[in-house]
Structures are given as structure tokens and as C-alpha cells.
Structure 1
Amino acid sequence: MAKEPGTTGAPEDSTDGAREDSIDGAPEELSDLRVLKALAQPRRQQMLQHLTVHGPATSATLARALGLNTGATSYHLRELARYGFVEETEGTGHARERWWRAIPGDRRFPPRSKQNVETRLVMNELNHLSYAADLELFEQLQRDAGDTDAVGAELGEWADAFPYSRGTIRLTLPELREFFEEYIALLNRYKRPDAETPADARTVLTRLLAFPAPTPAPPPSPSRFPSHFPSPSSEPEATS
């Protein structure tokens, strides 16, 4: 990621909202409802994703990529800048063009136990947008990897680079918190300035989703079933 505006959910009562990357320095908690509302906007999420994956862009570039008019794009960029998610940067084009970049950071959502009802609603929307965007990106990569021409022209040897892991471990809550912080530290270990990035490096999207397994629900009580339906434990009567 061209250093994504990382927003993560530190494990507390729940691991709410995992959105990307990290940077050195103290974590910043996004507890202001106005900031969360500004972030939980579909177009702004698309813009942040584009700036993160493809690097700095102008409002006109973003408008073409996302199918928006430049007026709407400029407005959303100003709102994102207002809350510290993007900033103007030097561009490579005309001097009058305004270029924007995503600001990296270790931004974390408040733990669920500290969220009020309104905050949880906004967080649910933000998580939905994040998960949907991640799924769309992964499915696009799957389609490209299945296209022989795309593999040769675009992915090349990277078509074989799909590290994927699913695991189950038993942890205490403090251990889960430690696991999360070690993951963030690992990201920071591989972070480096663009000037020091090798020419053959690519933007790699990383995601961590760790959560307690749901407790199995007890079998339904027979009293929950209408009298004309057999309970799950009853056997059908034999008929002649």
C-alpha cells in the first residue's frame, strides 16, 4: 500500500473495524463521531482506497476513475483533508493542478465497550464499506489471475504470490492484544520511504481479522416449535 491511512481495531471487547496499514508513532484513536461520520462515506472510502493503492492523484483523476464529477470529488477531498486523512502534495503535472495523497497513520477505532449506540451504527457502516471494498479487490485479483493474458501482461510471477493463512488458536484477551500489536510491529518493520523502495516492489494489501469463535447456540427448546411441527429430537411416526 502506498502507505494507506491505516485504521485498525485494537482488540478490546471486540476487534472493531480493521482497515489497513500502520506507521511508526503513537496510535491515534478516532473517537470523535464527526470524524467517523466523515470517514463512513462510500465515495470517500473509494477515494482513500484509490490514493492508497495508486498513489497521489488530482481531483480530475479521481473523478474519472470513480465516475464522479470534479466538483463532488473536490468537496469530498476537502472533507477528508479537514479531518486529516488526505493532504495536498507536490504533483508531476501542471503547476496549477492540485495533487492529493493519503496520510498514513496508526488510527484505531474505540473499543466496542466505549461506543454509544450512534457510534456503533456508524462503525457498522464503516466496517461494511471496508469489508465490501476488500472483497471486491480480492475478487478482481482472482479474475486477473484466471486470465492467461492478464497473468502474462500484468501479474507475471506475482500470480504465484498469494500468501493465505487460516488458523485457530486459543488465547487469553491479553494475548490477543499482544498478537495484534506484534502484527502492527511487523508491518512497520517492512515499511520504508518511497525513495528506498526497490524498483520491482509492488503495492501489497495486507489484512488481519482475528475474533473469538462464536459460542455454539444451545439446541432449540421443543416449546419454541408450533404444535403442528415436530421438534428436532422427535421421530416421524410410522404409517401403514
Structure 2
Amino acid sequence: MEHISVIATISHPLRRRMLGHLLLHGATQVGTFARALDAQVGSISHHLRMLQRAGIVEQTDAPDGDRRASWWQLARRSFTWSTSDYDSPADALLAREAQRANVRHQLDLLQRWHRASVHSDREGFSTDSLAWATQEELSDLHARLNALLDEWRRGIDREDGRERMPVFFFAHGFPAEV
């Protein structure tokens, strides 16, 4: 179970974009964040400190050894929670709102891709399924998908000279009434 402060921290839209940038590009300098995300350096620094307090990012040495620049990297790569994890009504409300923010973020990325795909030859995919499962089986599916995605990411050789694009994958598994 995630501490509610971690969930609240990662739910902010700019911090969510910062995490995505770190996932794709690795350790990043504050000025690079500001340019890439079209934000002020002071704002980026503020949000990095909040992410650091929550144990999500950490400072790291500059690749070139320059100690004048502030570089940051992920301290962790994934977050999982359920609103049922929290006994406090206030915490459960925050967790629910974080889930809503997460879904809005996912749908925003999907909608932007659909709008751009009309003018692009880059294809994505859609997949869904419907089956009977216990809560334990649904949890097992979640764990297997995470393991598969981790294995897939590790298998990508970013040094092979092939052109790559950022790819966003999301899936939801939940009890449904049909």
C-alpha cells in the first residue's frame, strides 16, 4: 500500500510529466526539465523537492562530473494503490481523486494520439478482454502484466542505433457488470 502522501505527490500534472520524462530519458538536469516541459526552473526545482521528500526521485551526479548542475533520477519506477487500502475517509477520498487524475492523464494521452494518428503512419493498438475471475486472479493478472512490461522494457537495446519513439501503454482490469 502506498502512503497517501506519495499518491498525492505523483498526482500533480506537472510532476506526472516529470516522472514520464525521467522514465524515458533517465537522469535529467533541472534546466533540461524546464525546457522540455515548458516550465520555469524555480517551479521544476520546487516539484523536484516535493518528489524527493516523498522518496520518488533523488539527486545524482552529473554524467560529466560537473558539480554546478543539479541532476535528478528516479528512486522508484512504479506505484500501486487501491482506494480500499485506506481506512480514513479523507485518505480514501484522496486515493480516489488520484485514480481519477491518473485516468484523465491516460485518456488525454490516448486522445492526443488519436488526433495525431490521422496525420501519421505510426500505428498503435487496442486490446481488451472479458472473463470471469476472482479478486486473487485479477491481482495475479496485474502482477503478470507488470512483470511482462518490465521484461519488455529491459529487452529494448537503446544502443542499437534504431530510431525509437516514446510509447505509452495502459490497461485497466476491474470488476464489470455486462
- Pair in the same fold by TM > 0.5: yes
- Which residue does 1:185 correspond to in 2? 147
Maintained 8 Å contact 2:4/2:95: no
What's the secondary structure of 1:129's corresponding residue? helix
Q: How far is the alpha carbon of 1:88 from its aligned partner?
A: 2.3
**Number of residue pairs matched by the alignment:** 176
- Which residue does 1:72 correspond to in 2? 43
Alignment of 1:74-223 (within 5 A): 74-91=45-62, 95=66, 96-110=68-82, 112=84, 114-147=86-119, 151=120, 159-160=122-123, 162-192=124-154, 198-200=160-162, 201-214=164-177
> For the structure 1 residues 107 and 98, does the alpha-carbon distance in structure 2 shift closer, same or farther, using more than 3 Å as the test?
same
Q: Give the share of equivalent positions with the same residue, in percent.
A: 25
Please point out which of 7, 14, 17 is paired with 1:46. Answer: 17
Q: How far is the alpha carbon of 1:112 from its aligned partner?
A: 0.9
What's the secondary structure of 1:190's corresponding residue? helix
* Larger RCO (CA under 8 A, 6+ residues apart): 1
- Which residue does 1:21 correspond to in 2? none
Q: How far is the alpha carbon of 1:107 from its aligned partner?
A: 3.0
> For the structure 1 residues 128 and 65, does the alpha-carbon distance in structure 2 shift closer, same or farther, using more than 3 Å as the test?
farther
Q: Normalized against structure 2, the TM-score is what?
A: 0.80
> For the structure 1 residues 124 and 133, does the alpha-carbon distance in structure 2 shift closer, same or farther, using more than 3 Å as the test?
same
Deviations 1:196-226 (A, max 9, x none): 65432544322120111137xxxxxxxxxxx
Distance (Å, rounded) in 2 between the aligned partners of 1:65 and 1:188: 25
AA in 2 matched with 1:211: F
- List runs of 5+ in structure 1 lacking aligned partners: 1-28, 216-240
Alignment RMSD (CA, Å): 2.8
- List runs of 5+ in structure 2 lacking aligned partners: none
Q: Normalized against structure 1, the TM-score is what?
A: 0.62
Maintained 8 Å contact 1:58/1:99: yes
Maintained 8 Å contact 2:83/2:96: no
Q: How far is the alpha carbon of 1:167 from its aligned partner?
A: 1.5
Distance (Å, rounded) in 2 between the aligned partners of 1:55 and 1:143: 28
